Amino acid sequence: MNPAEIDKILESHEYKKSALIPILQDIQSKNRWLPCETLKYVSEKLDIPLIDVYSLATFYKSFSLKPRGKHVVTACCGTACHVRGGPKVLQEIQNQLNIGVDETTPDKKFTLETVRCLGACALGPLVVIDGKYHGQMNTKKIASTLKKYAKKKK
């Protein structure tokens, strides 16, 4: 992301220090991650110590300091999903994508993440891809679900 694009986001938030979270959210939505250079730039422009910007960016799981794929696959590892087969679903996703948790495929199409609970326990095991919930997931549905997203242009 170039400085002019970041400035446009900062301007939309009136350079308010109190808007740091939405600023970082906007940057990440356009860039899919928060590069160190971007955090430094925001720190300087808002006159916020870099450690404070970095602390916020690392505190929230929704922020990523590593490049993410076009499609973010989030597998729920909460209790309800776990007892309904969540670990097998997660393992199948890893097998299909040939990556581990918090990794991105070499072609940058998919990033795999886990969460402790998505708050939709009745749908478990639950997988969310690009914000879309896929409930009652099982190992047989994984391949076809991932193929749909592999073909999509985002």
Quickly state the pLDDT bin for 153 (edges 50, 70, 90): low
Convert the pLDDT of each residue in 53-107 to its tens digit: 999 999 998 899 999 999 999 999 999 999 999 999 999 999 999 999 999 999 9
| Mean of the per-residue pLDDT values of the chain | 95
Question: What is the rounded CA–CA span in Å between residue 91 and residue 85?
Answer: 10
Does residue 19 surpass a pLDDT of 70? yes
Q: Where in the chain is the domain with CATH 3.40.30.10?
A: 71-151
Q: Check residue 53 and give its pLDDT.
A: 97
Average confidence (pLDDT) over 127-134: 95
Residue 16 has pLDDT above 80, yes or no: yes
pTM: 0.81
What fold is seen in the domain 71-151? Answer: Glutaredoxin (3.40.30)
pLDDT over 70 at 52, yes or no: yes
